[in-house]
Structure 1
Amino acid sequence: MKKQVGFTLIELVAVLVILALLGAMAVPRFANIQNNALEAAQDGSSNAVKSAHAIAIANLKQLPSITVLAAHVGGDGANPTAVATGVQVTINGSDFVVPTFTNSTCDSPTSAVDDIVACVGSI
């Protein structure tokens, strides 16, 4: 009589349970990675608009309008567009607005694309 070789049903179930537990622990970590990447992209876009604001002031020797500010943002692939409340950027197919303000304390939001930008906020 030949000896049978293979795994028992209990051994297979034990392996499946272990794999399920490992998978359950990995899913939340993956979701966190996606959220962290989106937040980093938003921060990067906000910082790009802030840098463009400083460059526009240095080049123009005056505060820029939202339209001029959007034109100074470049190189990050965010496709900046001037909107009444700030500079709209696209990140992973979603649109976000980097808010702009008419005063240096960042408490008076802009309301038109021709408004002068004294302060740039964060997404």
Structure 2
Amino acid sequence: MTQRSEVTGAAGPTRWDTTMTGPSWQAYVDRFGRAFERGDDLEGEARFVDALAPRGAAVLDAGCGTGRIAAALHRAGHRALGIDRDAGQLAVGRGRYPGVPLLELDLLDVTPAALRAAGPPRPST
């Protein structure tokens, strides 16, 4: 994975890398986990994209976290692909949304070749 400092010239890790670790990371994941378990509406962004995109559109959920938006778009019939660099959140998402393609990749490393290697996302059947 490309280090952000190599691309941006910034020194050291990102703010996410330094603040979202240990208890902070777990609290973030748990907050959305509780909302998911309660059945809270977590799909507003997906409804917005769904209203704008033609049915079956290829949609990239950049920085997808657990993949909740990619999953909602997938259920709506879009070819959604979620990308995030946080392996822990992706593991949670893969457990919640089997069948939704979630790729561990830094957004700075997204290239046509990386997307081809992931394979084409397919709509929910």
Relative to its length, the structure with more strand (as a share) is 1
Instruction: Give TM-score, length-normalised by structure 2.
Output: 0.25
Question: Which has the larger Rg?
Answer: 1
TM-score normalised by the chain length of structure 1: 0.25
